Amino acid sequence: MNLQLTGHHLEITPALRDYVQTKLERINHHFDHVIDVKVTLTVEKLAHRAEATIHVPGNDLHAECSSEDMYSAIDLLVDKLDRQVLKVKERFADHHRADGARRKTAE
């Protein structure tokens, strides 16, 4: 999984980078076909915003969250992305297993 982390009106500290990486490991744990992740962290007056785009085979998933604290915005963002990735994983599994993939039994 390639991670591209950028900050807008914000300097990306090693602590923020590590926090984002550890949170995104949860997504990679649920669905290991994640190709690329682009995360943008933004500060606008009193609001801290985190947005991300995840590239998986056949789809691009996008989510954004806003909060008073950057760490809570990242937590909310990862929760949204996790739900989206689980939906894609279910569709991916259903697509390849139409009718339950029945096996032939020896008679």
The pLDDT of residue 17 is 94
Q: With 60 as the cut, is the pLDDT of residue 71 above it?
A: yes
> Which pTM value belongs to this model?
0.81
Neighbour count for residue 81 (Cβ, 10 Å): 24
pLDDT in tens, 38-65: 999 999 989 999 999 999 888 899 999 9
Question: Average pLDDT in the 58-83 region?
Answer: 94
Q: Which fold has domain 2-96?
A: Double Stranded RNA Binding Domain (3.30.160)
At residue 14, the pLDDT reads 95
Q: Which letter does DSSP use for residue 84 in this model? A: H
Q: Where are the domains of the chain?
A: 2-96
pLDDT (0 to 100) of residue 33: 81
Helices (H), the chain: 14-30, 70-96
**32 burial via Cβ count (<10 Å: 0-12, 13-18, 19+):** exposed
